[in-house]
A and B are shown apart, each in its own frame.
Chain A
Amino acid sequence: MNCRTFVIVFVLLFSCFGYSQNKQLLYGFAEMPNTLLSNPGAETNFKFHAGIPGLSGLSFNIGSSEATIADLFLNDKIDFTTKFKNLLGKLTERDFVDFNTKIEILNGGFRLNKKMYVSFGLYQEIDFIGYFPDDIVNSLYYGNGNNVYKTIHFSEIKYKGDALGVLHAGVSYKVNKKLNIGGRFKLYSGSLHLSSNNNSGTITTVNGDTNIYKQYLSNLNLNFYSSGLLDEDNNVNIDATETIGNFFLSKNIGVGIDVGFTYHYTPQIEFTGSVLDIGFVSYTKNINNISIIGSHQFDGVEVLFDETNTDYWSPINKDYLEELYNEAKANVPSETNTNSFVSWRPIKFNGAVKYSYGRARSIKECYDETYKEYYSNSVGVQLYAITRPLSTQVAATLFFEKSISEKFHAKLTYTANDYSMSNIGVGVSTQVGIFHMYGLVDNIFNMTNLAKAKSASVQFGFNLIFD
């Protein structure tokens, strides 16, 4: 295994220790402290908890809506160019790649009183999604020779990425025996950003009148936003020290909130819901934006015959191409600016209904003398949605939970989403003394060969829970 392969394999293995942004396994599972980040209105039954710094939640996830690593890089003796062309043929402008990393640096919480549980923490997150600019890539790879009249759409350029630190504090509040609500306030510190969306413009080719073809670059409006990535010469220049420092305290500040609830319709039927990251980051520092706006048409180079020159044999000494270039630049100018801009966080929606049944166990709440009924089995359905530059992505999950003992729980999920219609996940949560740990594995059928997986997601964490 050579060095490059090792790095790639390491990254992919590391990606095993991560969780998808759709935390369908984690959501509402076993009343773990970590569930508070996916639903601030989740119920808790402990006095306080402390996450092991850096290990209570560590994730790296890569997903692709269509392509897999095996599509290109499987050592199958098939010509690589053939595989590349086959993949290009499958991809459309709606296909995307995304990745998300989250490192919980600090995570803790304590019970304020019998109704309120306060949790707080600090995590660093990198989130990126990029869509496939189908027209542009195919035009560059194949050229326009076999499809000269095809229109190329610049609106297909869409991507968005953020690297930020999030300082958060939230409250889970028990309204009454049936209803628990919660909210979380987040302070975002933006370190790196790149995005381009809502672009427009087309290149079209028609039969010309003055020449054989006429090409129109129509209503081009391209905007590329970045912070912390480019220098004044538009070269990539990332200062590592400054980047890391900006995770904790930068001038690119934003705020956001999470809200959620848990409602017991009956002791056996439970509804939960949450909306996360309703917020934004205002980027004001280290900005380097590029805009390209205009229209232009090209129908070749016209060589003009100067009728005032009676010496008809003299070639016209004129640099037409330089004129052409200058005309194009004037019609479609490229400008850079350092204007501040606002980037909205991708909002996540969770909703679930759960039916519990089987052997009931009455467990005393840790904060008063009341008892809560816990059932050994649960089934339910979860819905998840996340707002993205092109459209909202949704996923639906069926789940089965089993409480094997008071301190050992398991969860089985089936999820349908943009990545797969055969995503089976398994999770376990166990507590030994005050030491709690959990492990969640998504897409288990592809775990033996990640190269063929469109997404991979495994999560585990360690906490100390004090009942």
Chain B
Amino acid sequence: MKSIRKNPIFLLFVCLFSSCIQNLDFNQVEDLTAEPVFKSSLVYFTLNQITFFDRINSLEIVTPISKNSKFLSLNSSFVRNNLVKVQLDFEINNQFDRDFNVTFQFLDDNDAITHSFQTFNIGANNLKYLHSEEIMVANNQLFLSSTKIKVLVQLAPSTSGSVIDPNIEKNLVFKTAGTFFLKT
């Protein structure tokens, strides 16, 4: 019988047992980072002329009207732990011939303000008012505990003498979207 050591199959076998994997480091997977950016619509609502008119006293309501909505974009611990920046986009359709002043505030569960934007003015009959606000989380850690968003809308004093007519339908339409910048 031929010596097995000289058998080509055996030599092949030995060759195959020698290392055929070169220089790999699987620990590198722990260095993987991601910077996803997610865009989504947020809240939207419409306020009509009746909102700004006290029909009992037949007077315009000039004090701020506030609306709260839950803001659960930060409900996920993954989002909270990895959020770098939030950009909020506002698109407002003002059908009134009056200006409005709008303020957005973020609140926590106790209704304490965690972050607020500067009040911005929406001109009369501006059918597509666009506005963006950015929140850098590193500079606004309190923002991460936000669970509600509060909108304060105030009818600005009339400069032309026009008054709200409760019988003529007019709307103030709010649309919002958020862009969430994350980094793992």
Contact = CB atoms under 8 A, between A and B. Distances in A.
Interface string B85-116: 00001010000000000000000000000000
Interface string B1-39: 110000111001100110111111110110111101111
A430 B176 CA distance: 76
B84 interface: no
Contacts of B50: 307
B21 A450 contact: yes
B70 A321 contact: yes
A449 B34 CA distance: 30
A339 to B, nearest CB: 34
A212 B177 contact: yes
Contacts of A75: 23-25, 28
A50 B1 CA distance: 20
A141 B65 CA distance: 41
A219 to B, nearest CB: 21
B40 A215 contact: yes
A439 B13 contact: yes
Interface stretch (A39-47, A79-87, A193-201, A253-261): A79-87
A72 B29 CA distance: 8
A142 B33 CA distance: 11
Contact of A437 (B9, B37, B44, B177): B9
B9 A212 contact: no
A300 B41 contact: yes
By size class, the interface of chain B is 35 or more
A5 interface: yes
Contacts of B25: 73-75
Nearest to A143: B36
A141 B61 CA distance: 48
A237 interface: no
Given A142-B36, A300-B41, A438 B24 contact: no
Contacts of A84: 32
By size class, the interface of chain A is 35 or more
A104 B86 CA distance: 59
Contacts of A438: 9
Given A299-B44, A300-B44, A448 B39 contact: no
A458 B21 contact: no
B137 to A, nearest CB: 16
Interface in B154-184: 175-177, 179-182
A439 to B, nearest CB: 5
Contacts of A313: 65-66
A215 B70 CA distance: 20
A460 interface: yes
A164 interface: no
26 contacts: A5-B24, A9-B21, A13-B17, A16-B20, A73-B25, A75-B23, A81-B31, A143-B180, A148-B39, A208-B175, A210-B44, A210-B175, A212-B91, A212-B175, A298-B40, A301-B44, A305-B45, A312-B51, A313-B65, A316-B68, A320-B70, A432-B1, A449-B22, A451-B23, A458-B16, A460-B12
Given A215-B41, A303-B43, A320-B70, 15 more contacts: A5-B26, A9-B21, A12-B20, A73-B28, A73-B29, A212-B41, A305-B45, A305-B51, A313-B65, A313-B66, A316-B67, A321-B70, A439-B9, A449-B21, A450-B20
